[in-house]
Every structure is written in C-alpha cells, then in structure tokens.
Structure 1
Amino acid sequence: MKAHLRPAIVSLLLLSAITGLLYPLAVTGVGQALFPKQAAGSLIEAGGKTVGSELIGQNFTSPRYFWGRPSATGPMANNAAGSGGSNQGPLNPALVDAVKGRIEALRAADPGNLATVPADLVTASSSGLDPHISMAAARYQAGRVARERGLAPAQVQSLIEANTEQRDLLVLGEPRVNVLKLNLALDQAH
C-alpha cells in the first residue's frame, strides 16, 4: 500500500505546484511583460486620475453625454462582478416593457429626433458590460449632445469619427465607439 500511496502523493504535490503556482505565475508575468496596459485592466486616465476601463461600460445619464448600452447587471449598473445577460427572450414581457421604457426615455431626452432608435441603445449586450455603441447609436445621439453642449453638429460628428474603432483584424465585428473615450474627448473639446 505504501508503495502506491507515496508516488500518488508526490505526483499530487508536484502537479499542484506546477499547475497551481508555477504556470499561473509564468502566464501572469508574460502577460504583464508583453501587454502591460491590458494586464492592468486597460484603464483610462484623465487629469491624472483613473476614470474607468476601456473594457467596462459606464452609466452616463446626463443629456450632455453620449449614453451607452443598457446594463444587464442588476442591481448596480455595469458591475463587472455581475457580468451576464438578462436571459430575457424576445417574447418576454419584461424585456418588451424595458425596451419600450428605454425608447420613451430616449425620445423624451431628444423629442425632435424622429430617427429610428438603434437596437443597441435599448438592449443590453450578452455580458451586460459593453463599453461600445454602434456608429448608428452615436449618430442618433449626436444632435442632442451638440445642442446640450452648444457645439456645432459637425464638431460632434468629427469627435465620433476620431473615436471610432475599426473592425478587429479588418474583418471581425463592426466599427464601434467607446462611450467613455468619446465623452472624455467631448469634455476636452468643450
């Protein structure tokens, strides 16, 4: 029995040390060396202070700012610890009511805007934390933001274009705008 137990215990301890300590430390070290900004959370700084991450949306409610996608992380919006979708299907009355309420809020914030409301302004992403909006969602809000800030619409459109992220590897995804970066650019331009 002892002849079988000793090698099993030694194997357990050795593999635990390799897979539980050495490998994670090596991967973390390589990640921090090759991708220091990403390994630190892709943090965004403004005025010497960390104001957010490129990877996690923020809840902007002032009409002077662009609004991001609704968050599905309840009860706190954009809570990374609660990442996940709402799991509400398209026929779920709660989702239908939430979308109607979000459309009404967008219409109330910009009553003269009769354009179709882009879907990403009224539905949460699968993670519930998406920091990006589509070009259509940014353009939909441009008039309201320009009016609230006293900026020319062309100036706001220029900021949208300057903060547009292109498709990854030229083919993956769609052009998109990081809401936090765009709102920081607005504050600097104003």
Structure 2
Amino acid sequence: MRLPSWLSQHLAALRAVLVLTVLLGLAYPLALVAVGRLPVLDGRADGSLVTVGDRTVGSSLIGQSFTDADGNPVPRYFQSRSSAAGGGYDPTATAASNLGPESVVDRLSTDPADSTPSLLTQVCARSKAVGERDGVDGRRPYCTPDGVGAVLAVFRTDGLTGRITRVVSVNQVAPATPFVSTWQGIPVEPARPGHDYVAEGGVVTPVRGEAPAAPAVPADAVTASGSGLDPHISPAYAEIQVGRVARERGADPAAVRRLVRAHTAGRALGFLGEPTVNVLELNLALDEELPAR
C-alpha cells in the first residue's frame, strides 16, 4: 500500500534532517577536532599559548596589556595598541568601538560615568600620552594641546549662514581654556556638561591646528584593531618605544633594536598587509636577554 504523498514528503524531510545532523552536527565537528590534535596543529588548536617554564604567560595570537595593578603602562616593556574588547583584550567580548570618522563631539556629563569621549578625543588623548611616555611629539591634526578633539560649535544667525553669534569649544569643559581664544572675532567659550550644542543649532567645525601633517606617533598607537585582540604593533610604533625600554633596562638601544628586528614578521606571502611586531614575544625576549637591572 502506498503512503499518502504528504506523509512520504514528511518522512523524506525527517530522513534528511537525521542524515545532515549526523554529518554536520557530529561527524564534521569530530573530524575538525581530530585534525586539530595532529602534532603540527595541536598548539594552534589550543590557542597558541606561550609558556615560560611551567607558567602560561599569554597567547601569540591574542594581545594583552603590559600594565601594573593600577592600569599604568610598565615602562620597561613595549606597549601594545589599545583594545576595545571588553575591558581590554577580552576574548569573550571581541569587538571594535563602532565609532567612525564622524565621531568628533564628546558626550559630556556632570557624572563622569555618563561621559563618552568621541573617537577623535580618544585618538588625541592616546597620542598625547604616547608622546609624553616615549619622548616624541604627540601632536596630531584636529587635536588640542590638552589631548581632546579640537572642535567648535559655531552658531550663526541663519543656521548655516549669516553672522556668527556664539562659538563653543565642545570638547573642553571649564576650567579648561579653549584651544583658541576667538573664532572670526567672536570669543570662544568652554562647553558646559549636559548640553547638546549640535541639537541647539551649532555647526560642528573641526580645527586642524598647527600639528605636523605626518604625526610622530603612528596610527596603530592611537587606534584599536577591529577585533580588539591584535597582538601586534607596527615597526614604527616599536621604534619610538626603543629609547624608553632601553633606558628602563639599562641596555644599549642597539641591542633592543636587534630584538625588535628579530621579532618583526614581514608581509604575508610577501605582499599582503604590513610588517608587524609581536609584543608578547618581544617582551619575553627582553626579559630573557636584557633583564632590567
């Protein structure tokens, strides 16, 4: 006796579900686990962990911060780039900040917990901090000397045109002094927390300033990677840190540069990406060959 067509169709669908479940839900994952346990691949499958003696100190694939208990950079170590993954380099919260080039106005509040710096201010603050820590020029275009975005809200009588009636440095709160005292003859005032000057009609006006077109602090020193877990920095960022690391360790800068070169990887396949320096591996080599005196 032939089964009704609707029942035959349902049985065929059920068989397909069972077969695909066995193949894709069991056989395929188990096969990948088995491949990952091969002698050449097992280290990568376990997370490419780096050990010193019997102690696991990190992963060659996941970055980490080299800071003290208070979150301050440890001067004798090369510093990684910033991370937007959770509290920093959190593999369970890998992500970027989702802030783009138009993020130039800070959200200012009387409660510091409710204040949110724009991407521009984050870049400016990081560049200033790196410049001070490593003894280089930390100035960048569109940044104020105190390390926030150099952005004005310009109010005009007719919105976008007409006579200027008011100018506010939107990222600087009193008692900070505005980075320019006047704008086209109008005194510049500091911002007040809780005010949305753009919603109030101010035209956002970034000011380039007199910073060099090619900043001494490289881009990867002031931005986070897309994943938030990048363990590498550029050779340029490593180079500006050489003097500080050598001084803190009482070592010859040439010896530190030699270790940087030894831990610099070239472009993938010879032409993809840029050369990179693995910060963890470099710092471990420093502790082994040039321990702090």
Which TM-score tier does this pair reach, normalised by the shorter chain?
over 0.9
Per-residue deviation, residues 45-96 of structure 1 (Å, max 9, x unmatched): 112211111111101121111111100113x110011112111112312111
CA apart distance, 1:108: 2.4
> Secondary structure, in 3 states, of the residue corresponding to 1:160?
helix
Match of residue 165 from structure 1:
265
Higher mean C-alpha deviation, range 53-62 or range 33-42: 33-42
1:1-190 equivalence runs, <5 A: 1-33=6-38, 34-60=40-66, 61-74=73-86, 76-93=87-104, 94-110=118-134, 112-114=135-137, 116-189=216-289, 190=291
Q: Counterpart amino acid of 1:113?
A: V
Per-residue deviation, residues 102-157 of structure 1 (Å, max 9, x unmatched): 112112223x3337001101101111111000100100111111111111100110
CA distance in 2, matches of 1:18, 1:65: 49
Largest Rg, 1 or 2: 2
**Whose strand fraction is larger, Structure 1's or Structure 2's?**
2
Higher mean C-alpha deviation, range 159-168 or range 27-36: 27-36
Task: Could you tell me which runs of 5 or more consecutive residues in structure 2 were left unpaired when the two chains were aligned.
Answer: 1-5, 67-72, 105-117, 138-214
CA distance in 1, matches of 2:11, 2:101: 58
CA distance in 2, matches of 1:71, 1:185: 23
Q: Counterpart amino acid of 1:179?
A: V
CA distance in 2, matches of 1:98, 1:8: 54
CA distance in 2, matches of 1:134, 1:40: 26
C-alpha root-mean-square deviation of aligned residues, in Å? 1.5
Q: Counterpart amino acid of 1:90?
A: P
Equivalent pair of 1:118/1:140 in contact (CA under 8 Å): no
Task: Could you tell me which runs of 5 or more consecutive residues in structure 1 were left unpaired when the two chains were aligned.
Answer: none
Count of aligned positions: 188
Q: Counterpart amino acid of 1:107?
A: G
Equivalent pair of 2:136/2:217 in contact (CA under 8 Å): no
CA apart distance, 1:172: 1.5
CA apart distance, 1:28: 2.1
